[in-house]
Structure 1
Amino acid sequence: MIPVNGEDEVVELCRDLIRIDSTNAGDNSGPGERQAAEYVAGRLADVGLEPRILESDSGRASVIARIEGTDRTRDGLLLHGHLDVVPFDAADWRHHPLSGEIADGCVWGRGAVDMKDMDAMILAVVRQRLSAGRRPSRDVVLAFTADEEAGGHYGAQWLVRNHADLFEGCTEAIGEVGGFSVTMGDKGRVYLIEAAEKGIAWMRLTAKGRAGHGSMLNDENAVTALAEAVGRLGRYRWPVRLTPTVQAFFEEVFEVEVKAEDAEEAVAALGPLARMIGATLRNTVNPTMLQAGYKANVIPQVATAHVDGRFLPGYEDEFFQTVDELLGPDVAREFVYHDVAVETSFKGPLVKAMADALQEEDPGARAVPYTLSGGTDLKAFSTLGIRGYGFAPLRLPEDLDFSGMFHGIDERVPVDSLQFGVRVLDRFLDYC
């Protein structure tokens, strides 16, 4: 087998993946992930693995492969990434989102940040190691999933329900939305490692009233009841709740304990990072959709709204109790999508392996835990008893608004950041 240099090929792997259209609008109508899955499976088979492509529905494909470790007594490690991306409007982009263009030292395209960059890094590292006969000490399961961008119904959730045996022995995992650097003035570069995720509660709210003519008096107006409830939800100021991960973030960054009453002031000092961290101080509910009626002079019998709720680990009960109090007795709620919050401690051999691998490549680098306000496939894998982290290591330029490119326009990742990630992941697999 000809040895592979992961740093040399990671950029082309990333470009190839970006050029494959795997957009996912959430209604199961897109191109699916099959073409991307076949590409990934082919690159893994080239180095002696036997990947399985599993379809949950036509074209909705995930890839699973296992690398046997040299010490079969050890628990396994899961490396996971998703193959789907969110939709785009190409007219808004400087370079076409399916071009994989290299410009200004970056690879451009939908998925360059979320998360075909990490898919490419995993592929490059695995190909490099196996082509040189370098197997990890523990079993490593590779999972490239479908449908993460729409909740994982056709991807990670389906795999966990129907093929849990493929993850047998795995107790730890790494995936997306962590491991990237943020430059914080005189504090230097810190690398944010996701150790927690808020839970998700997308809800449909329904108010029912008495239909009637728009010119008549009506004290059972469904639109009024719904609008008032949505207003209460949208304006409610949720209290600050400092979870263990958020407390650990503050202590690592500011090197002092930050109390709840000072948390917002501390977040304001974080600059662009405030957008990410600020959403992890409290539960949130944002109204997103409203629907009622069909004619201006007809009072409808039913009015509906959708809201996006996110709750902190450990505060789900408080969240729903408050939501129900704010809605009142005249508005019912039902789940459109509901998923767990997850949190794990930022200590142990796996955390040390991540921190050491970063410091070897970037002396002085500090690994700092944080909470993700969104969600990843880790939620599904956590139901198998797997504790996980977001660790897709990238050393980034100080002026690059990396977090702002998730689901945004002009998504791009620096070429040297991809190569940095390959080096770090390779060391990580040695250390863990």
Structure 2
Amino acid sequence: IGGGPCSTQGSSGEDPSVSLFREYLRLKTVHPEPDYDAALRFLDRIAEELDLPMKKIEEHWKYDAFTAVKDAEGNIYGRGAQDMKSVTIQYIQAIRRLKAEGSQPVRTVHLMFVPDEEVGGHKGMETFVTHPEFQKLNIGFALDEGLASPGEAFTVFYGERNPWWITIHCPGNPGHGSRFVENTAAEKLVTLIFLKLQCFTLGDVTTVNMTMVQGGVAYNVIPAEMEVSFDLRIPPTVNLQGFEKQIKLWCKEAGEGITYEFAQKHMNQNVTSTEESDPWWNAFSTTCKAMNMVLEKEIFPAATDSRFIRAVGIPAVGFSPMNRTPILLHDHNEFLNEQVFLSGIDVYQRLILALSSVPAFPDETNPFL
């Protein structure tokens, strides 16, 4: 009911309905970064004012991804529960305990919080390892993130696959969509994808996933160029120079004028020794065995900042002490059980003490020591 003598005016003389309308308009719910949470809070408030029931239907996540809900089983839900806000706090709490105990390790322990790992690390660890401040740290060994382990054993990663992000440009003859036009960009793109799928023989070892396709301006216009992008993950056993030659051959076979460019192309294939004679690995594995932990050594399937650390000659392993936990990094309902989390602090406390107490040894090859 509006407009009549019974309507209530706000303190500013504006009709309350108009004020409410303007308040709602101020909420930034446009893409690419809509503030839906603010809109929900607004509607929650209105429902409460009017004593109306309200039900929110949300897909995928059981709880808000940033509220850190802990359920009756002690599972803590939130983005970063496994990857890797958990490990950050476990490191911090392990250091807190070591300091409280008055531990005096032989080596200095540095905690590094570095950005941009998820988008290639170009403005993060890749740049930092060349910085004089990094070299001053005099690092002998590094711990980085690992993965959860669904079983009883704990996975530890001594190397990782090289990420190659590649975009291939396919030029072709343009024309009207109603005509038979030969040698189009789309023909070449389809041929290239077919060659990629048919020629790959490395199976589970190397993965190639088409992630983006771009091109075209209208339904009835044949585009002069199309692009296709791939995410490649290549294990350290593959000859990278030979692999790129194969890519060039595929492009040549797919048609004339095809070119490609890399958004990311990591070429270093260093791995960390897992021989018992290696002092670092010996300290790591012996400490785990003393805690009755079964280790499974693997090559990391994705890419972490460890690749930049290994590239400058520093041994590094990826390890997140999260067994009996489904792998949910970047997934819906990412969670970590509180007992697994607390147990991980104990593990890191002992590992950090053991690794930081490794004495200097004559054959260390780290150029920064």
Q: Shared topology, TM-score over 0.5?
A: yes
Secondary structure of 1:343 counterpart: coil
Structure 1 stretches of 4+ with a deviation exceeding 6 A read none
Q: Residues 422 and 163 of structure 1: is their aligned pair in 2 closer, same or farther, counting only changes over 3 Å?
A: same
Structure 2 residue runs without a partner (length 5+) = 1-32, 35-56, 356-369
- What is the match of residue 239 of structure 1? 202
- Supply the AA of the counterpart residue of 1:170: I
Match of residue 323 from structure 1:
247
Q: How does 1:55-70 map to 2 (within 5 A)?
A: none
Q: Does 1:350 align with 2:280?
A: yes
Distance 2:165 2:353 in 1: 40
Q: Which residue of 2 aligns with 1:26?
A: none
Choose which of 291, 294, 311 in structure 2 pairs with 1:383: 311
Query: What's the TM-score once normalised by structure 2's chain length?
Result: 0.74
Greater Rg over alpha carbons, structure:
2
Identity %: 24
Pair 144,321 (structure 1): closer, same or farther in 2 beyond 3 Å? same
**RCO greater where, 1 or 2, for CA within 8 Å and sep 6 or more?**
2
Asked whether the 8 Å contact 2:68–2:78 carries over to 1, the reply is yes
Q: Secondary structure at the match of 2:129?
A: helix
In the alignment, is the contact (CA less than 8 A) between 2:273 and 2:315 conserved in 1?
Answer: no
For residue 212 of structure 1, report the CA deviation from its aligned partner. 1.5
Instruction: Write the letter of the residue equivalent to 1:124.
Output: Q
Residue 251 of structure 2 aligns with an amino acid whose one-letter code is L
Map of 1:95 onto structure 2: 63
Equivalent position to 1:191, from 135, 144, 154: 154
1:102 partner SS? coil
Find the residue that maps to 1:113 and give its secondary structure.
coil
Shift of the 311–197 alpha-carbon distance from structure 1 to 2, 3 Å rule, reads same
Distance in 2, Cα, partners of 1:425 & 1:163: 28
Report the alpha carbon displacement of residue 117 of structure 1 after superposing the two structures with TM: 0.8
Which residue matches 2:297?
Answer: 369
1:337 equivalent to 2:260? Answer no
Deviation sequence 1:392-416 (CA, Å, 0-9, x none): 223x33xx42x2x011011111111
Q: Deviations over 1:284-307 (max 9, x none)?
A: 211111112111221111111111
Deviation at 1:159, TM superposition (A): 1.7
What letter is aligned with 2:262?
F
- Residues 202-213 of structure 1 mapped to structure 2, 5 A cutoff: 202-213=165-176
Contact 1:230 1:327 in 2 (8 A): no
Matched, 1:119 2:88: yes
CA distance in structure 1 between the aligned counterparts of 2:264 and 2:149, rounded to whole angstroms: 32
CA shift at 1:351, angstroms?
1.9
Identify the residue that residue 221 of structure 1 maps to in structure 2. Answer: 184
Cα distance in 2 for partners of 1:123, 1:114 equals 16
Answer whether contact 1:118 1:392 (CA < 8 A) is retained. yes
Distance 2:63 2:241 in 1: 45
Task: Give the strand-richer structure, 1 or 2.
Answer: 1
Change (3 A) 1:359 1:110: same
Within 5 A, what are the aligned runs for 1:415-430?
A: 415-430=338-353
- Quick check: 2:270–2:311 contact (8 Å CA) kept in 1? no
2:230 to 304, 307, 321: 307
- What SS does structure 1 have at the residue aligned with 2:263? strand
Tell me if 1:142 matches 2:108: no
* Residue identity in the other structure for 2:249: E
Q: What corresponds to 1:284 in structure 2?
A: 207
* Contact 1:355–1:366 under 8 Å retained in 2: no
Match of 2:112, SS state, is strand
Change (3 A) 1:425 1:167: farther
Which position in structure 2 is the counterpart of 1:296? 219
Q: 1:164 to 1:208 in 2, by over 3 A?
A: farther
Pair 417,204 (structure 1): closer, same or farther in 2 beyond 3 Å: same
**Runs (5+) with no aligned partner, structure 1:** 1-28, 31-88, 184-188, 241-278
Instruction: Identify the range of structure 1 (306-315 vs 230-239) with the bigger mean alpha-carbon deviation.
Output: 230-239
Secondary structure in 2 matching 1:141: coil
